Amino acid sequence: RIMYIGLMFLLSLFVIQCTVNGQQEVKNMDLKNETIRIATFAGGCFWCVESDFEKAPGVIKVISGYTGGTEPNPTYEDYYRSGHIEAVQVFYNPEKISYEQLLDIFWRHIDPTDPGGQFADRGPQYRSVVFYQNDAEKRIAEESKETLAKSIRFARPIATEILKLGRFYEAEDYHQDYYRKNPLRYKFYRSNSGRD
């Protein structure tokens, strides 16, 4: 009987732990799952890029961060000094959304003709970049960019770069899901940025 009570207690703890784990952000999921892939984009303010991608079906989560620079462990106060760019990593299920579809979302939410930043955010740390991880992503990104250029949708040439992804550094906690944590500040920033 004591053994039965002990077993029930352990089972209860296991159920509670599973429930807690299940309620944690997708941020803590096992990324070894083969149905999850990661794409990396820079399109100006990472708050806005994160928000735009997170609304897409098939996107599991989006992480804001810094990449492209020379110094390790950049912070928000100094990332631009070593050439880092504000970027996001998009964790997605390729069975629900393709890399090509992510590129379409990206092109719709940036100004790909602006080499000096994005909207109100100026400087090389805000320029638009598609970061590829392999030859397949590079080919798809280049074809997508070429299709956009040929569409004559824009009067100016496409300035978005396509670069090999280096180390990606996750931004500080307060930047993650900023649009959810600070909805009023985010809306004020976004409505005054010129992005919409």
Q: What is the DSSP string of 172-191?
A: PGGGTTHHHHSHHHHHHHHH
The catalytic residue among 39, 42, 45, 88 is: 45
Concerning whether 45 is annotated as a catalytic residue, the answer is yes
For the four alpha carbons of 94, 95, 97 and 99, in that order, the dihedral sign comes to positive
Signed CA dihedral, 165, 168, 188, 181: sign only: positive
Question: In angstroms, rounded to a whole number, what is the distance separating the alpha carbons of residues 83 and 5?
Answer: 60
Is the distance from CB of 175 to CB of 47 less than 8 angstroms? yes
Q: Are strands 121-122 and 128-132 parallel, antiparallel or unpaired?
A: unpaired
Cα diameter, the chain: 80
Token pair of 184, please?
Answer: 């009023």
Length of the chain: 196
Cα 35 from Cα 195, distance rounded (Å) = 32
> Reduced to 3 states, what is the DSSP secondary structure of residue 82?
helix
Q: Which residues are catalytic?
A: 45
